[in-house]
Amino acid sequence: MIQLYHVYKAYGGEQHALHDVTLTADKGDFLFITGPSGAGKTTLLKLIFCAEQATRGQLLVDGINLQRLKRSGVPYLRRKIGVVFQDFKLLGERTVFANVGLTLEVTGRPRAYIEKKVRQILRLVGLDAKENHLCCRLSGGEQQRVAIARAVAANPIIVLADEPTGNLDDEITLEILELFREINRRGTTVVLATHNRELIEKVPGAKVGILRQGRLVAAGVARQVMAQRSALEISSQGVL
Amino acid sequence: MRIGLLVYFLRKALENIWTNPFLSLVTLSTIAISMLILGLFSLIYLNVQQSLHQMGGELQITAYLQETISSEQAEVLRSKVADWPEVEGITYISKEQALARFRSQLREYAGILEGLKENPLPASLELTLMPQYGRSGNIKELSTRLGRLSGVAEVQYGRKWMAKLRVFVEVMKLVGITVGGLLLIATIFVISNTIKLTFYSRREELEIMRLVGATDFFIKAPFLIEGLLHGLGGALLAAGGLSLLILFLFSHLDLPLRLAVMAGSLPTGQLVAGFLGLGLLLGVLGSMVSLRRFLRP
C-alpha cells in the first residue's frame, strides 16, 4: 500500500530531513512512525500525501509512483488518503458538520449523500449531538475527533495521523487511539506518527518504524522492535 | 458538468460576494461606470459616424458656368463630368431654373431682382458625390479638376465643415479606443483585486480543501463565477444607466442634433447584449488574472 525505497528529503541545506529511508506498509497495516521531535516523522507523512516531494528515492502509494505523479493527479491521490493534522486544520468558525462535509464536498458529492455520510461518521466518532456546534467552541479532544471524522469521511484507503494525541490527556488519548483501531479494523491502513511509546504498546500486531535524525534506525513488528530497543537501552545503561 | 455542482459553485460565489458586500458594491460601481463611459463614447461615435454616412450622399459641388456657354455646350460638359467615378448624380441648372429657384426659396428678397433687365444668375452643374469620395482631399481635388474644364467659371462646395467633422470623428475614435482600452484594463484590474481579496479571506479554507483532495478547477470555479457575476452585474447597471441617460436627453434637452434622434433609433437590444458580453469577458479575464497567480504550484 505504501512503499518507500531509499527516500531522501533535504530542505536546501546539507542536513537531510530524511536520509535513505526504506519502509513499507501493507493493506490493513497499523504502522507507527516514532522518534524524538525533529526526527522526520512529519516530513515522512508529508511525502506520502504529496505535500512535499522527495529529493531522491522512490515512493509508491497504492501502486502510484509519487515521483512521477503530475500536479493534476495529486488531488485524486489525496482523496485516497485521509490526513489528521497535528494542528487539526479545522475551520473554527464553521460547524462540525461543515468541516467533516468538506472532504465530500470537494469530490462533488450530492448534498443528500453528504448529509447521510457525515451523520454516520459523526456517530462513529461520538459527535453526532454536536454537528451544529462551531469547531472553535469544542474541546481539544472533540476537535481531534472532528479532524478524524473529516479524514475518514471519504472512505480513504489510508489514514495518516501526525501526533494525534499530542496535547490530550491519557483518557482522551486512549479514546482517540481506539478510534484509529476501529478505522483500521474496517480495513484502512493507518500510519500514525507519535513520540509516545506507550501508545505503540497498546496496539498488538502493529508495525513500527523508528526515526532518528532522519534515518530509519529500526523497523518491523512493534512488539519485537520495541522489545529489542528496550533490551538495547538496558544493556547500554549496564555498560555505562 | 452536473447541475448540482454548478449550483454548488454558484452558491459559493454568492457566499463570496455576500461576505464582502461593500467590496462587491465598489467593484460593481467601478465596472458600471467604466462601461457607462465606454458606452457613451461608442454611442456618440456611432451616431456621428452614422450621421456622416447619411450626409455623405448629400455632398454637393456646384460648378457655375460661364455666361457665354450655350445649353448644348453645357450638356456636353454635363455628360463628360457624369462619367467621372466620384460623381453619383449631376444636374444641369439653367439660368432660368436658377432664377425660379431663387424666387421660390427666397420669396421675401425676390424684390431685389425685379429692377434687373437681365437674369444675373449663372447656369450651373450640381454634382452629388459618392459617399466614399466624401473626404476633403477628394473634394478639393475634384473641384480643381472641375475648375480647369473650359466653360466652368467657378466651383463652390459648401461643406468644408464636414471634412473637419470627419477629422473630429477620427480623433474621437482614437481617444475613445485609448480611454476605453485603459478603462477596460482598469476594470479587469478591479475585478482581479476583488477576487484576490476574497481569495485571501478564504485562503485557510482553500488550503484545507486542497489538502483533502479538491482539484484546481473545483477551487477556481466559484471565483470565476464571482468575477462573471460582477461583470454581468456591472454591465446591467451600465446598460440601465445608459438607457436612463438617453431617456433623459430625449425628454429634458431640446437637442437640435441628429444625435438624439439617432440615439433613439440605435438597437437597444444589441447594446445591452454587447454590454453583457463585454461584462462577462471582463469578469472572466479579471478572475483568471488573479487565480493564475494564486494557484501556481
pLDDT digits (tens, 9 = 90+) for B7-45: 888 988 898 888 888 888 988 898 898 888 888 887 777
Percent of all residues in chain B with a pLDDT value above 90, rounded to a whole number: 6
Q: Chain B within 8 Å of A91 (Cβ-Cβ)?
A: yes
Nearest by CB to A108, from B2, B205, B210: name it.
Answer: B2
Nearest by CB to A102, from B4, B209, B297: name it.
Answer: B209
Q: In sequence order, what are the beta bridge partners of B128? A: B60, B89
Q: Chain A within 8 Å of B269 (Cβ-Cβ)?
A: no
Q: What is the pLDDT of residue B55?
A: 62
**Closest C-alpha among A35, A7, A3 to residue A217:** A35
Nearest by CB to B218, from A71, A89, A106: name it.
Answer: A106
Q: What is the pLDDT of residue A15?
A: 76
Per-residue model confidence as pLDDT tens digits over B118-176 = 788 888 988 887 767 766 667 778 888 888 888 888 888 765 666 677 777 788 888 88
Q: In sequence order, what are the beta bridge partners of A10? A: A16
Per the structure block, which three cell numbers stand in for B223? 471565483
Q: What is the pLDDT of residue B241?
A: 87
Task: State mean pLDDT over A212-239.
Answer: 74
Dihedral of the alpha carbons of B193, B196, B197, B203, in degrees to the nearest 10: 180
Q: What is the pLDDT of residue A237?
A: 54
d(CA A102, CA A90): 10
- Which stretches of chain A are assigned E, i.e. beta strand? 2-10, 16-25, 30-34, 56-61, 64-65, 81-84, 158-162, 189-194, 207-212, 215-221
* Exposure on the CB side of residue B197, measured as CA atoms within 13 A: 15
Distances (CA, A) of A223 to A25, A32, A193, A206: 16, 11, 17, 8
CB of A9 within 8 A of CB of A47? yes
Confirm whether A75 is domain-assigned. Answer: yes
pLDDT band per the 50, 70, 90 thresholds, residue B294: low
- Element (DSSP H or E) covering residue B292: helix B268-294
Q: Chain B within 8 Å of A111 (Cβ-Cβ)?
A: yes
pLDDT band per the 50, 70, 90 thresholds, residue A240: very low
Q: Chain A within 8 Å of B208 (Cβ-Cβ)?
A: yes
Q: What is the pLDDT of residue A188?
A: 93
CA distance A67 to chain B (A): 16
What is this model's ipTM? 0.87
| Contact flag B209-A91 (C-beta cutoff 8 Å) | no
| Contact flag B205-A91 (C-beta cutoff 8 Å) | yes
Which residue, among A42, A52, A78, A87, would best test binding to B if mutated, counting the most B CBs under 10 Å from its CB?
A: A78
Distances (CA, A) of A37 to A14, A17, A34, A166, A195: 19, 12, 9, 12, 7
Residue A121 has pLDDT above 70, yes or no: yes
Per-residue model confidence as pLDDT tens digits over A39-83 = 899 999 999 999 999 999 999 999 999 998 998 899 999 999 999
Nearest by CB to B212, from A94, A102, A108: name it.
Answer: A102
CA distance B5 to chain A (A): 6
d(CA A133, CA A153): 18
Confirm whether A212 is domain-assigned. Answer: yes
Per the structure block, which three cell numbers stand in for B37? 463611459
Nearest CA in chain B to A156: B212
CA distance A39 to chain B (A): 23
| Contact flag B212-A83 (C-beta cutoff 8 Å) | yes
Q: Chain B within 8 Å of A220 (Cβ-Cβ)?
A: no
Q: In sequence order, what are the beta bridge partners of A159? A: A82, A190
CA distance A79 to chain B (A): 5
Q: What is the pLDDT of residue B53?
A: 65
From chain A, pick out residues whose CB is under 8 angstroms from the CB of B221.
Answer: none
CB of B287 within 8 A of CB of B191? yes
Count how many pairs of residues, chain A against chain B, have C-beta atoms within 8 Å: 52
Nearest by CB to A110, from B4, B204, B215: name it.
Answer: B4
CB of A61 within 8 A of CB of A80? yes
Q: What is the largest CA-CA distance in chain A?
A: 65
- Element (DSSP H or E) covering residue B65: strand B60-65
**Closest C-alpha among B174, B294, B146 to residue B224:** B294
Nearest by CB to A106, from B204, B209, B297: name it.
Answer: B209
From chain A, pick out residues whose CB is under 8 angstroms from the CB of B216.
Answer: 72, 75
Nearest by CB to A106, from B2, B207, B214: name it.
Answer: B214
CB of B270 within 8 A of CB of B46? no
Q: Chain B within 8 Å of A93 (Cβ-Cβ)?
A: no
Decide if domain B59-158 falls under CATH 3.30.70.3040. yes
pTM of the model: 0.71
Q: Chain A within 8 Å of B8 (Cβ-Cβ)?
A: yes
Residues whose CB is less than 8 angstroms from the CB of residue B148 and which lie 6 or more positions away in sequence, other chains included = none
Question: What CATH number has the domain bearing residue A34?
Answer: 3.40.50.300
Burial A202-217 (b: 16+ CB within 10 A, else e): ebeebbbbbbeebebe
CB of A176 within 8 A of CB of A144? yes
Burial A108-121 (b: 16+ CB within 10 A, else e): ebeeeebeebbeeb
What is the number of structural domains in chain A? 1
Domains of chain B by residue range: 7-54+163-294, 59-158
Could you give the residue ranges of the DSSP H alpha helices within A125-190? 140-152, 170-185
Task: State mean pLDDT over B69-90.
Answer: 87
Nearest CA in chain B to A109: B5
Confirm whether A144 is domain-assigned. Answer: no
Residue type, A12: G
Domain that holds residue A199: 1-80+190-240
Confirm whether A195 is domain-assigned. Answer: yes
